[in-house]
Structure 1
């Protein structure tokens, strides 16, 4: 029986512990995946873990709205079909994809990337107090 488990691990690849930091969240999410899993699968697992832990801000569950970066490798997003173990690193960043809109200006229309906007309603202290008020329940 021990031999069959060992062969199964060899066929499926090694399992690795990775850390995914979500932009705007308090800390990284850590979980174990097979090194041969695709980036798309890792994003899905990260979103599910994030939601299960009840973290803020709420992200949603659509894998296509997010990209995974490896800050050590470069500034380009990882391709969805690449294997997570092929990069040789264990730390990643999960970000929402920038939204694009078509600008119908004077030149007939061009695609413009719109960054993730923050609704600034004051300082970080106001945001912190507001988030505390959401968690405190009154009797």
Structure 2
């Protein structure tokens, strides 16, 4: 049996580390986030296992760093992230961004609902609306999804 020298062992460890690094890089991908009311999308690289809440936070920080308008704020809990292809419901903040295989997203600010008071007859609407319905209401046109 032939003994391996120290340099051969370190070379094998380096090769293994390089393979591990490459596999980590393979789990990263570029996403595009369109923000309602903004002039253009934000693009950045994420790891497929990053949580949706982390992605929202990164998008808000990038948006603010670029000095974009309108000013959105930085509270992740005030925003919803939708897949452009599956806009029926928002992504859960605790799920992995890569779980849907999507690369294009829409970031929306949550709609604030009026509180019901004793003296008023206002009803609180419990209906959650997605970004498509917001566009339909705002611009009075229909977006047809297939």
Structure 1 residue 26: Cα displacement: 0.5
- Tell me how far apart the structure 2 counterparts of residues 75 and 69 of structure 1 sit (CA, whole Å): 8
- Tell me how far apart the structure 2 counterparts of residues 57 and 37 of structure 1 sit (CA, whole Å): 26
- Tell me how far apart the structure 1 counterparts of residues 44 and 15 of structure 2 sit (CA, whole Å): 24
Moved more, 92-101 or 41-50: 92-101
Moved more, 33-42 or 2-11: 2-11
Structure 1 residue 105: Cα displacement: 5.7
The yes-or-no answer on 1:59 pairing with 2:77 is: no
* TM-score (norm. length: structure 1): 0.71
Which stretches in structure 1 are left out of the alignment for 5+ residues? 116-139
Greater CA radius of gyration, 1 or 2? 2
Q: 1:39 aligns with which of 32, 36, 52?
A: 52
Higher strand share: 1
- Tell me how far apart the structure 1 counterparts of residues 68 and 41 of structure 2 sit (CA, whole Å): 11
The yes-or-no answer on 1:6 pairing with 2:2 is: no
Structure 1 residues 31-64: Cα deviation after superposition (integer angstroms, max 9, x where no partner): 0000110100000000000001111101111111
Aligned to 1:103, the other structure's residue is in SS state coil
Aligned to 1:17, the other structure's residue is in SS state strand
Counterpart of 2:29 in structure 1 is 16
Query: How many correspondences in the alignment?
Result: 115
* TM-score (norm. length: structure 2): 0.68
Poorly superposed stretches of 4+, deviation over 6 Å: 106-109
